[in-house]
Every structure is written in structure tokens, then in C-alpha cells.
Structure 1
Amino acid sequence: MIEVVIDDRCGGCGSCVDACPSDVLAGGPSGKAVIVRQADCQTCYLCELYCPEDALFVWPETERVVGLSTEQALATGDVGGFRRDSGWGEHAATHTNQHWRMGAIFERARLMAIDAAAAKPAREQDGRTS
């Protein structure tokens, strides 16, 4: 689940916002990404892949928010690791893209999105918006 947007690194490009299939991220008042719907995170790592500044940290826990701080995320040494290990961007020359290994996570994210879309009309009929 997405845990941290590292404000000092975020350049405000919006790539992570555009990549997120669940609208978990949005542009904040400063133009930088902010987490707005953390519980809807599918742990698909797309935001990490598309962030050229390594300003996002997704923890592999999919069921709950762990509550990591920026300092704790940086201390893991894994900030930007998924992007690097996937061979994206500047890492393409030194790392083989192993993105195919994410198939099970992407399938889970797809099924969650289908369930969420099906539940949305029911929530709206009940007068609930989220």
C-alpha cells in the first residue's frame, strides 16, 4: 500500500497521479502529489514506476496502512528500488525489466477495481459517496 510521498523529492510532474488506477493520488495545493485515498491503493506499484524522482514509497502490505514516515521509508533503502529493479527509465541499461513477475498483483488489482466499480452504484443509491 502506498505509504509516503517524499515532498522534498516530488517535482509535481503528475505522472504518478495519472498512472494510479484507483485515484489514490492527487495534485496538492503546491502542485506536488498527495495521498488522498490511501485505503483504495491496490499496491500495483505503478506510481513508483512512473515517478522519475523516486518520491513515492509503496510498502508490500496490501491489506492495511503500516504508517511509515518519510524517514522510515528512506531508511529501508528501497525508495526507488522497484523502478530500478524493473529496468525503467535511466535503469534500463543496467537492470533487466522483470515487470512480468507482477502478473498476480495486477490481476488482483484488476479484480479489486471491478468489485469497486460494481459497488459504486450501490453506495450512491444508499446515499454514501465513498
Structure 2
Amino acid sequence: MIELVSEARCIGCDLCVEVCPTDVFDRVPGGAPVIARQSDCQTCFMCEAYCPVDALYVAPQAEQPVPVDEAQLSASGLLGSYRAAVGWGTRRKPGAAADQTFRVLQVARGG
């Protein structure tokens, strides 16, 4: 569930508003979008994946809102961590490059 939009990091591009399939965010002219309908979040990570400045945090295991601390999320590397895991963004290695599941097929084929 979406838990945080970092006002300190947000550049106001509104990509999160655009990509959210359940219309969780509201635009704020001249400011960071707000989480207006948190209970509608389906934890799809689209907002976090598209945020170019890692200003969002989606709690992967939460079905109810959980308290978060932006400083702790930033220090632990969790702020924008989904985007990093899939390799989106400059100087990041695509997540598929680290995927070793292709080895299952190699072994099955005798390779």
C-alpha cells in the first residue's frame, strides 16, 4: 500500500498521478501529489516504479496503513526501493540481468 510521497524529493512531475490505475493520488498545483484514497491502493508499485526521483514508498506487505518515517526509509534505502530492484533509472542494472531462472531451462535441456 502507498505510504509516503516525499515532499522533499518530489519534483511535481505528477507521473504517479498519471500511472496509478486506481486513482489514489490528487494533484496539488505547485506541490507534491497527495495520497487521497490510500485504501484504493492495490500495491501494484506503478507509482514507485515511474517516479524519477524515488520520492515514493509502497509498503509491500501492508493491507492497512502502516506508520513510516521518511528519514528511516531514506537511510535504509527503502525509499524508491522497488524502482531500484527492477533496475529503472540511470546507472541501475536492469533486474532481468540478475535473474538466473533461465538456468532451469539449461539444466532441463541437459546444458
State the alpha-carbon separation in 2 of the partners of residues 40 and 67 from structure 1: 17
Q: TM-score, normalization: structure 2?
A: 0.77
Which 4+ residue blocks in structure 1 deviate beyond 6 angstroms? Answer: none
Amino acid at match of 1:37: R
Aligned residue in 2 for 1:59: 59
SS in 1 for 2:78: coil
Matches within 5 A, 1:11-90: 11-90=11-90
Amino acid at match of 1:82: Y
Aligned residue in 2 for 1:102: none
- Pairing 1:96–2:101 present: no
User: Looking at CA atoms only, which structure, 1 or 2, has the larger radius of gyration?
Assistant: 2
State the alpha-carbon separation in 1 of the partners of residues 20 and 30 from structure 2: 19
How many residues matched? 97
- Pairing 1:10–2:18 present: no
How large is the Cα RMSD of the aligned pairs? 1.9
Q: TM-score, normalization: structure 1?
A: 0.66
- Structure 2 regions of 5+ residues with no counterpart? 97-111
Higher relative contact order (CA 8 A, sep 6+): 2
Cα distance, 1:63 vs. partner?
A: 1.3
State the alpha-carbon separation in 2 of the partners of residues 96 and 30 from structure 1: 32
Larger helix share, 1 or 2: 1
Identity rate, percent: 47
- Structure 1 regions of 5+ residues with no counterpart? 99-130
